[in-house]
Structure 1
């Protein structure tokens, strides 16, 4: 004989985990994995370390991500490229919502956003170093990096080309975007290693100067 009270016999079974809970758990694991990388580099990116950091059982990584490699990809996409996605979305929003928004202003906003304290920060140095090293040997991560990098470069190149066209200048927008990204990455790395080398303001100035050498002044547009 059932011991379930009659009032509950016809009730629908409530799922043990809601979709929201699953999303929250994924985010917690991504954040824990990022902290593990920040503390110990790629050597600390293990199931045991991440689960200890997140205070969850070992099986949850495979349950939510399928593999440790898939979690690594999510760390790269969700945590480290969040700033890039934000920049791309903002640039697209300005172009869509303000048809008279000058491309010069969008390009200058791109540059300055790269040096905001929440982006130009030391906290993720070990994370980036670990991931850059892993990209060289991990085909899955390399593919994701290539896709995200090209999305970033093409969006930046679009605005560079728009500024050049407006001013009647001939530039290789894709190459200039590539050089800009490389300069920002290099300046950030040097500043992280030794903050006496330059200030973030000086790094920003150097990056603007690179673009202005090909396009003319952006700050007086």
Structure 2
């Protein structure tokens, strides 16, 4: 059985492409930690480099400016949360309706709704108001999100034999879950994750005529 050091060695990036990807990801994750702690205004080349344990020069090698770092951070965070939710739902056995109802469960689960994820997201959401590059990236990410939810709602509706506007229901779910995510990120003494899940599932059940 290999010892920890040899196991770690096997995981280390070896090729030029792997090294570049590793360094870039390390910088992005450093940016997310800085965003979560300091917000966009307090996040600088120095704070990102410090959080990433990298030199300031390395950041300039992979990103042209701070805007590009913010875009990459948003894409990475959105992708990480999406993969967590999708992976959890895909691994479960169940009907299309059960999988749809499992989405909010995974979305507000401890592994997804971490302090880092929600505080970094809060900072980046605010940045979409003022930063055209971040707003454009956010718009594309949400287009893809809407398409995925549309497909899931459509499959559940077909399974239940009901005719609904799947895209409209998907949009309603995203608006509700985003609002609850935002509310929990700011006022976790007013709302609980369990309540957020219940509210999302109640909405989906009503739209699918399950209640």
TM-score by length of 2: 0.82
Shift in CA distance, 196/47, structure 1 to aligned 2, threshold 3 Å? closer
Task: Please name the residue that 2:3 is paired with.
Answer: none
2:47 maps to which residue? 49
Distance 1:134 1:46, change over 3 A: same
**Correspondence for 1:177 among 167, 170, 173:** 170
Aligned to 1:127: 120
Q: Secondary structure at the match of 1:124?
A: helix
Alignment of 1:31 onto 2:29: yes
Q: Is 1:188 aligned to 2:181, yes or no?
A: yes
C-alpha distance in 2 between matches for 1:66 and 1:143: 17
**8 Å contact from structure 2 (residues 153, 170) kept in 1:** yes
Q: Confirm whether residue 153 of structure 1 aligns to residue 146 of structure 2.
A: yes
Q: Does the CA-based 8 Å contact 2:177-2:196 persist in structure 1? A: yes
> 2:175, 2:206 → 1: CA distance?
16
Structure richer in helix, relative to its length: 2
Instruction: Verify: 1:209 aligned to 2:202, yes or no.
Output: yes
Q: Distance in 1 between matches of 2:120 and 2:155?
A: 34
Equivalent position of 1:102 in the other structure: 95
Which residue of 1 is the match for residue 12 of structure 2?
A: none
| Partner-residue secondary structure (3-state), 1:111 | helix
Q: Which runs of 5+ in 2 are unaligned?
A: 1-14
Cα deviation 1:134-154 (Å, max 9, x = unaligned):
112222211211111111111
- What does residue 3 of structure 1 align with? none
Q: 1:89 to 1:126 in 2, by over 3 A?
A: closer
Equivalent residues, number: 198
Task: Report deviation, 1:90.
Answer: 6.2
If the length of structure 1 is used for normalisation, what is the TM-score? 0.79
- Work out the CA distance in 1 between the residues paired with 2:62 and 2:145: 28
Deviation readout 1:115-144 (Å, 9 max, x if unpaired): 211222333343222211211222221121
In structure 1, runs of 5+ residues without a counterpart are 1-16
Kindly name which structure, 1 or 2, has the bigger radius of gyration based on alpha carbons.
1
Note if contact 1:62-1:68 (Cα within 8 Å) is conserved in structure 2.
Answer: no
Distance, in Å, in 1 between the alignment partners of 2:115 and 2:48 is 21
1:111 and 1:197, CA in 2 relative to 1: closer, same or farther beyond 3 A? same
